[in-house]
Structure 1
Amino acid sequence: MSTRVAELPRNDHTASLGEAGPAGETAGAAGVWYWRVTAESPRHEDWALLGEAERHRAGRMRDERSAAEYVGCRATVRRLLARILGGDPAGVPLGRRPCPGCGSREHGPPAVLLPGGPCLSISHSGGLGMLAVSRTPVGVDVEALRDVHVTELAGVTLTAAEQQVVLVMPEPRRTRAFLRCWTRKEAVLKAVGVGITTSLTALETSPGRRGPVEVTTDIASPGPVPWRVTDIAVPGGWVASLALPATAGGTVTVQAA
């Protein structure tokens, strides 16, 4: 699997990602977009694009900057999907698939609620938003580089092998390596469809290796399932990872929205 930068697909009102992959790629490919969120309060034009559940979630947030980031990211996701699928951003049927663990749609992975619609994954952190779109299950996670108490968190987030690699590193490499482990793990759990509902120490992400790496989990499946995790190049100040099935082929495209 290779990674390259490609142009955003244009809105031709004919092709959906259920039939043709991002930027016309072959089955298993993914398109990844990232963007900055700079508003300090939710913008009216972004708020107007959100669905009822999204507005309810944003309204429960006490921190206005966090609400602005959430609203801005969800609005950008809808604009991008409208350009890919055709139609109006406010009309994109964005919802959730059932959680593979419990069957609930309250916390299942995001999805375009169309027959044969694409699989999605959404992430945002510290003013950067990301969207991954694929015809196969996909997970993306981004984390802002920031002060992290790595030694305190290592025991509940890293495997013994990961700790041996990460904890001996000097700063700031230690924090970056820790966040690389975190984004790789969360990308896989998002691709599975359950999110962080299990012990992160159950996933081995090989922090000493540059991506792509293979991460195996039996969460929500009768046996071990391998996932191919790629480190996504984003602007300095963030770390991001993308997970796709290990059997997926094709090219991953990455670009600024």
Structure 2
Amino acid sequence: MAADQLLDGECQVWWARPDQVSDDLLLAAVPEAEQRRAGRYRQRLDRQRSLTGAWLLRTAVAAITGDRPSEVLLDRTCADCGQQHGRPRLPASVGVEVSVSHAGDRVAVALTRLGEVGVDVEFAPLPGHFDHELAENILSPRELSIVERSGDPGADFRRLWVRKEALLKATGHGLRMPMSRIEVSPAADPPALVAWPLDIPVDQVRLATLDPGPRHHAAVAVLTGATMTVRELDAALLL
């Protein structure tokens, strides 16, 4: 099966490093408006992550549609202010939902035909550290109690954190909904949505843990009741 073939019951997750793609390829694929948006970051690594995410999204979609990466039509209209910095969307005729995330040394792009998708990756600069104050804001009391009793509360907290981030990216709520109002399965269990205040039934949501590599945690969420297969791929296949 070709790496770029997106199956109906599949969620593809492409992984890249911020230094994996040459500047020539990045600038050829990424339109000037997106280059300018990346240029607003102060740190060079942040700019590189943003550009690589834009390249990876466009190149992965182009591999499916047959378009040139620079010609892929993306709408980033923000639902709140109307500016072009919102979640990326493809034309409805393409039939593919997408999501982008980047942190540390990893850039992720998720694509699926199953339903709206959210992917999240987080970097752990201090692998054994547990930020209890942050956890209190993100976890429900039940989740926090379980994490506090864990042998590695820092890692377990981050596993739950990326699940919730992925869910809110899939729904489009982002930071507008407190993550403590969402409950997911314990870190040691298969990832699943347990409860949230939205009208979408929990059995119409799929969650999966991803493998971004050492010192990173990642998850993907898709709003679907169908069986979902996740396939993780390296951006080297697109070069």
SS of residue in 1 equivalent to 2:209: strand
Quote the Cα distance in structure 1 between the aligned partners of 2:164 and 2:217: 13
Q: Which residue of 1 aligns with 2:93?
A: 115
Please state which structure has a larger fraction of its residues in helix.
Answer: 2
Quote the Cα distance in structure 1 between the aligned partners of 2:112 and 2:195: 20
Q: What CA deviation, in whole Å up to 9, does each residue of 1:102-151 have, x standing for no partner?
A: 48464442112352431101111102011111121111111112225511
Quote the Cα distance in structure 2 between the aligned partners of 1:74 and 1:214: 29
- Which of 38, 58, 63 lines up with 2:38 in the alignment? 58
- Which of 132, 136, 140 lines up with 1:159 in the alignment? 140
- Which of 201, 211, 214 lines up with 2:193 in the alignment? 214
RMSD: 2.5
- Residues 29 and 248 in structure 1, CA contact (< 8 A), matched pair in contact too: no
- 1:48 and 2:28 matched: yes
Runs of 4+ in structure 1 over 6 Å off = none
**CA 1:208 to 1:238, structure 2 compared with 1: closer, same or farther past 3 Å?**
closer
One-letter code aligned to 2:186: P
- 1:230 and 2:208 matched: yes
Quote the Cα distance in structure 2 between the aligned partners of 1:206 and 1:50: 38
Structure 2: gaps of 5 or more residues:
none
- Residues 75 and 84 in structure 2, CA contact (< 8 A), matched pair in contact too: no
One-letter code aligned to 1:185: K
**CA 1:107 to 1:71, structure 2 compared with 1: closer, same or farther past 3 Å?**
closer
Alignment of 1:125-136 (within 5 A): 125-135=103-113, 136=115
* Count of residues paired in the alignment: 230
Q: What CA deviation, in whole Å up to 9, does each residue of 1:46-71 have, x standing for no partner?
A: 13322343222112111111111111
One-letter code aligned to 1:84: I
SS of residue in 2 equivalent to 1:255: strand
Quote the Cα distance in structure 2 between the aligned partners of 1:182 and 1:42: 32
One-letter code aligned to 1:57: R
SS of residue in 2 equivalent to 1:143: strand
Structure 1: gaps of 5 or more residues:
1-5, 11-21
| CA apart distance, 1:74 | 1.2
One-letter code aligned to 2:182: L
- Residues 130 and 157 in structure 2, CA contact (< 8 A), matched pair in contact too: no
- Which of 150, 165, 169 lines up with 2:131 in the alignment? 150
- Return the TM-score normalized by structure 2: 0.85
- Return the TM-score normalized by structure 1: 0.79
- Which of 3, 7, 16 lines up with 1:8 in the alignment? 3
- 1:87 and 2:67 matched: yes
Quote the Cα distance in structure 1 between the aligned partners of 2:2 and 2:211: 16
**CA 1:70 to 1:107, structure 2 compared with 1: closer, same or farther past 3 Å?**
closer
